[in-house]
Structures are given as structure tokens and as C-alpha cells.
């Protein structure tokens, strides 16, 4: 009887651990790049971030990214927006393409700085080790995916 109880506890523990591992492996990172840029407007510079994630889960919904102290809402409802979702008809895998633009203005009160480029700063909802944190939802539970680092591309200098 004691052996059966031990085996039952062990089986339940393994099942919980396997479920946690599967939930942690929801995304596969295809691409994560960053590219500094400067120009276009005097004192205007920043970093463009590009992320491609792939998943076989249909119940997943990324909603927020934290990169370099800035928070970026992820919105798939805008047709030509910076966030895109596409499902492969053969493999049935979903690919998420995410673009983020970190903008800096070195001239305070610059009237040429568009108001919609001002980013919100926010601490992530949890501590993480890496370059970016993506928040997503699976079956009404919030989960997180950490991007360890970005591949740096050569800087763009606009006239």
C-alpha cells in the first residue's frame, strides 16, 4: 500500500513537471534582430527590433513585449500594423512577426518629433534574464517567453 502511494505521488509530480515544461516550450524563436538607426530628423535616432516566433498551438495570443525598459503593446487587429500573424496551411503552425521601433530625441522639445513615437517605459511584470520578454496568453493564463539576445545588424544612417 505504501509503495502504491509513493508511485502515485511520483506519477503526479512527473505529470506536473511535464506540463510545466510543455508550457515553457510553447514558442520557437526563428529570428530576433536589432538595428540602430539615425537621421531623418535632427537629433532623431533609435533601434528597430524584429522578432519572428513560431508555434503549433492555436490557443496562443501574444499581447505585450518589454525591450530595453520600454513596453510595446502587440496588436494584431491593425491590417497593415507592425504585428502580423500567419498560419501555414500545410504545417498548421502559426508564425508571429513583430516589429518594434525605439525612438530617441536628443533635442528636448523638438517640434519635428512626432507625438506618436513617444514610448512608455514600464517595468516588466516579472524579472527576466535576457534582451526581451514577451507576454502571451494560453487558455486564459498569462505566460512569458524570454528572448536571450538580439542579433545586431549594421547601423542605418538616414539623410
Cell of 74: 502587440
Q: Which domain holds residue 153?
A: 27-157
Residue 22 forms part of a structural domain? no
The whole-number average pLDDT for the span 104-126 is: 64
Range 115-137 average pLDDT: 78
What is the C-alpha separation between 125 and 150, in angstroms, rounded?
Answer: 21
Span 49-108, pLDDT tens digits: 999 999 988 888 889 999 988 899 998 887 777 788 888 899 889 999 999 998 887 666
Q: Is residue 87 part of a domain?
A: yes
pTM over 0.85: no
- pLDDT tens-place string over residues 9-51: 666 655 555 444 444 457 899 999 999 999 877 778 889 999 9
Measure CA of the first residue to CA of the last residue in the chain; give whole Å.
Answer: 79
Tell me the three state secondary structure of residue 138: strand
> Are 96 and 32 contacting, i.e. CB atoms less than 8 angstroms apart?
no
Residue 50 resides in a domain: yes
pLDDT confidence of residue 22: 44
Domain count for the chain, please give it.
1
Query: Beta strands 151-157 and 28-38: pairing type?
Result: parallel
Mean pLDDT score, 143-147: 92
Calculate mean pLDDT across residues 143-159: 92
Phi–psi pair at 130, nearest 5 degrees = 150, -170
Is residue 65 in some structural domain?
A: yes
Quick check: is 89 in a domain? yes
Amino acid at each position: 500500500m505504501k509503495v502504491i502511494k509513493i508511485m502515485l505521488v511520483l506519477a503526479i509530480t512527473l505529470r506536473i513537471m511535464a506540463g510545466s515544461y510543455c508550457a515553457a516550450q510553447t514558442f520557437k524563436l526563428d529570428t530576433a534582430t536589432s538595428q540602430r538607426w539615425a537621421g531623418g530628423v535632427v537629433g532623431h535616432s533609435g533601434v528597430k527590433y524584429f522578432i519572428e516566433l513560431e508555434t503549433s498551438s492555436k490557443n496562443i495570443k501574444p499581447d505585450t513585449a518589454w525591450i530595453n525598459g520600454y513596453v510595446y503593446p502587440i496588436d494584431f487587429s491593425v491590417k497593415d500594423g507592425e504585428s502580423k500573424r500567419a498560419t501555414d496551411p500545410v504545417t498548421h503552425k502559426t508564425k508571429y512577426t513583430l516589429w518594434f521601433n525605439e525612438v530617441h530625441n536628443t533635442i528636448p522639445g523638438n517640434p519635428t518629433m512626432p507625438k506618436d513615437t513617444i514610448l512608455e517605459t514600464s517595468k516588466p511584470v516579472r524579472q527576466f534574464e535576457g534582451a526581451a520578454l514577451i507576454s502571451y496568453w494560453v487558455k486564459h493564463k498569462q505566460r512569458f517567453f524570454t528572448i536571450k539576445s538580439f542579433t545586431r545588424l549594421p547601423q542605418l544612417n538616414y539623410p
